[in-house]
Amino acid sequence: MLKKLMAKLNPPPGPAPQGVLAVYTYLDHFCSAIEHLRSTQEVESYETFTPTSYHEVEHASGFGYSPVRWFTLVCGLTGTFFGFALCMLIDLDWPLVTGGKTPGIYSLPAFVVIGFEMTILFGGLGTILGMLIMCKIPNPKTTILDNRLSDDRFGIFVPNVGPNSSQAKLLKELGAQEICEISGT
C-alpha cells in the first residue's frame, strides 16, 4: 500500500531531454535566429533560453499578452468581494450600528479600506500563483542544460536531433557560437 503510494508520488524520472543546444553570445544574432525559425518553420519544436528578460527576445518570439493578468483580475475581484463580505457578515453577528438603524444596513466607507487591502492581497497572491502555473514552477525535476544560460549566454534547444543534423547546421549558420550535444542520461 505504502509502496504503491510512494511510487505514485515519486514516479521514475522520464527520459532526460536529448538533442542539441545552440549557444549564442550576441543578443541580435539570437533574436534573428528565433525570427528565422519562426518564419521558416524549418525546426518543428525548440526551446529558447535567455539570461534575463530582454524585450527584444519577447518581440522576436512573437509573444502577446501573458495570461497571468487574468489570474490577477479574478483573484483581485475575489479579494474585493471577500473584504466587504468579511466586514458585512461579521456585522450581522456583532452589529456596528450606524445611526440607530437595524443591523444589515451598512455604512460602507469604513469597509473600503478592508476591501481595498484584500483586493491587493488576493490580487498579488493570484499574480504569483498565475506566474508559477504559467512558468510551470516549482519543478523539482528540472534539467539544467548549460550553466552559462543563467549567466550571459543565450540558447536554443532542439530536442531529438544530433549534432550533425540539418537543424544543428542551420543554428550554426544563424550565428551560434557553439553547438552542444545534450545526451539523455
Tell which positions 54-83 bind another protein, by CB under 8 A: 54, 56-61, 63, 65-69, 72, 76
From the list 36, 51, 77, 78, which residue makes contact with another protein (rule: CB under 8 A)?
51
From the list 41, 147, 183, 185, which residue makes contact with another protein (rule: CB under 8 A)?
147
Minimum distance between the CB of residue 128 and another protein, rounded to whole angstroms? 5
**Does residue 140 interact with another protein by CB under 8 A?**
yes
Residue closer to another protein (CB basis): 18 or 86: 86
Q: Select the span of 5-13, 36-44, 118-126, 158-166 touching another protein (CB under 8 A).
A: 118-126
Q: Map the footprint of another protein across residues 78-107, applying CB under 8 A.
A: 86-87, 90-91, 93-94, 96, 107
- Cβ-contact 79, 121 below 8 angstroms: yes
Q: 25: how many CB neighbours lie within 10 A of its CB?
A: 14
**Does residue 50 interact with another protein by CB under 8 A?**
yes
Q: Are strands 47-49 and 154-159 parallel, antiparallel or unpaired?
A: antiparallel
Task: Give the closest residue to 128 by CA, choosing from 71, 49, 50.
Answer: 71
**Does residue 151 interact with another protein by CB under 8 A?**
yes
Cell 508520488 locates to 9
Kindly give the residue spans of alpha helices, DSSP state H, lying in 10-108. Answer: 27-40, 55-61, 68-93
CA distances from 54 to 28, 31, 141, 154 (A): 11, 10, 26, 11
From the list 11, 12, 100, 138, which residue makes contact with another protein (rule: CB under 8 A)?
138
Q: Select the span of 6-14, 19-27, 36-44, 160-168 touching another protein (CB under 8 A).
A: 19-27
Buried b (16+ CB within 10 A) or exposed e, 91-117: beeeeeeeeeeeeeeeeeeebeeebee
From the list 14, 45, 104, 152, which residue makes contact with another protein (rule: CB under 8 A)?
152
